[in-house]
Amino acid sequence: MTHQLRRVSHQSHWENRLLVVPLLIGSLKVVFALTIFYLPGKAHEPWNFYGIKMPLDWLYLFAAWDSGFYHAIAANWYPSVLNVLWAYFPLYPASMRLVGLFGLDLWLAGFLMVEIAGFASILVFQKVASMYVNKAEALSVTILYFLLPPVFVFTTVSYTESLFLLLSLLTWYSHIKGREASCAVLASLTVLTRAYGLLILIPIGYDFIRFKQFKNLGFLLFPFVAFVAWLSYGFLKTGSFLAPFSAQSYWNTATVNQIRDSVSSFMMHGDPGSLYFLFQFQHLVVLGILFLGLIAFLCIRTWNLDRSLGVYSCTFLLVIGFLAATLVQTFVSLPRFLSLIFPVGMSFRIGKRWLFRMTLGLFVSLDLLAWWMFLFTDKFH
């Protein structure tokens, strides 16, 4: 009886500690939001925000760049012709639209959904991490992962990252708990949030084959059906079966085309002069490569945690890296995309306390800078 009481007490203590990290990170977000809002010397409001008047003065802190597209879909749904809105998958704007039916302003609905999903994703991440590392390490890797600047910013602002991360984690949690029907439903929702949600099926299918659970392979059809259903809806509306991918051509700007031409000329003719145009992006390229190196290192480390997570991490890395290299226009968003590989957070373990504290301090400083850059520059979105 005494042993059982101790075990219950220990479990209760762990459950209580689960709230510490999301509350700390949530408090930090509030402090940073107030800092940016009252920052002296701001020259202007966010330049890229379409001139829209927000229902609350401070809401602009959580919405810029793609946020306007999600709002446009939530307000008026997808058009009957192919345009940029078709590049965005429907679950997040559809959820905003649904909440808006109850009278809540769509900008506020989008904000609340992101913050709730972001808070919940921290909780679920800790639960999943505790299955691979000890409780103390689960807390430390959760702190580091959710303070990683792309994760910190894009689980705060009105993008799909919060929802995608939460659904990916819930999908994997259901899978490792053996709840394959729930896993299939959650995987379908993940796919309807972002196209590369399909990648979560690779480690799940790998597990089914590895453990000879062949009858469970049928569950993988559900996310594919959801994906094809969305493509079919796009075909009925626009006449293009690949509407979400055809719409990507919106970002083929003159600058993107010139970058492609420069790289192609160098590869075909070996003329170094063709790369001069790229020098103006050297800082962006260096930072992108450094972040890619960090994520690649962590992806490799996930093999030590779980072979299936290693398969997922490395596949995700290769797919996104290939798209960034070939499409070019996605390169500036590479840190955002790669930060959604949730297993890398679990492998982000730092044993030395002084190094952990230094990394923590660095991330906190960079988080404020990254949020400011998201709002007021074109270098981080």
Residues 6+ apart with CB under 8 A from 125: 142, 145, 146, 165, 169, 342, 345
CB 341 within 8 A of CB 168: no
In this predicted structure, the answer to whether residue 8 has a pLDDT above a threshold of 50 is: no
Using pLDDT thresholds of 50, 70 and 90, give the confidence band for residue 5.
Answer: very low
Q: What pLDDT sits at residue 52?
A: 67
Q: What pLDDT sits at residue 279?
A: 61
- What is the rounded distance in angstroms from the CA atom of residue 249 to the CA atom of residue 243? 11
Look at 310 and 56; give whichever has higher pLDDT: 310
Q: Which residue has the tokens 């072979």?
A: 307
- The mean pLDDT value for 223-243 works out to 95
Written as six digits, the tokens of 181 are: 């029907």
CB 158 within 8 A of CB 170: no
Q: What pLDDT sits at residue 12?
A: 52
Q: What pLDDT sits at residue 275?
A: 61
Q: What pLDDT sits at residue 199?
A: 96
Q: What would the pLDDT profile of 67-124 be if each residue is shown by its tens digit?
A: 999 999 999 999 999 999 999 999 999 999 999 999 899 999 999 999 999 999 999 9
Lowest mean pLDDT among 5-19, 49-63, 311-325: 5-19
Using pLDDT thresholds of 50, 70 and 90, give the confidence band for residue 213.
Answer: very high
In this predicted structure, the answer to whether residue 354 has a pLDDT above a threshold of 80 is: yes
Q: What pLDDT sits at residue 49?
A: 56
Q: What would the pLDDT profile of 291-342 be if each residue is shown by its tens digit?
A: 888 899 999 999 989 999 999 999 999 998 888 767 766 677 888 999 999 9
Written as six digits, the tokens of 33 are: 């939001």
Q: What would the pLDDT profile of 124-174 be if each residue is shown by its tens digit?
A: 999 999 999 998 899 999 999 999 999 999 999 999 999 999 999 999 999
Share of the chain above pLDDT 70, in %: 82
Any idea where the domains of the chain sit in the sequence? 2-40+63-376
Of 46-55, 255-264, 278-287, 364-373, where does the model show the most confidence? 364-373
Q: What would the pLDDT profile of 258-295 be if each residue is shown by its tens digit?
A: 666 666 665 665 666 656 656 666 667 777 788 888 89
In this predicted structure, the answer to whether residue 360 has a pLDDT above a threshold of 90 is: yes
Look at 335 and 194; give whichever has higher pLDDT: 194
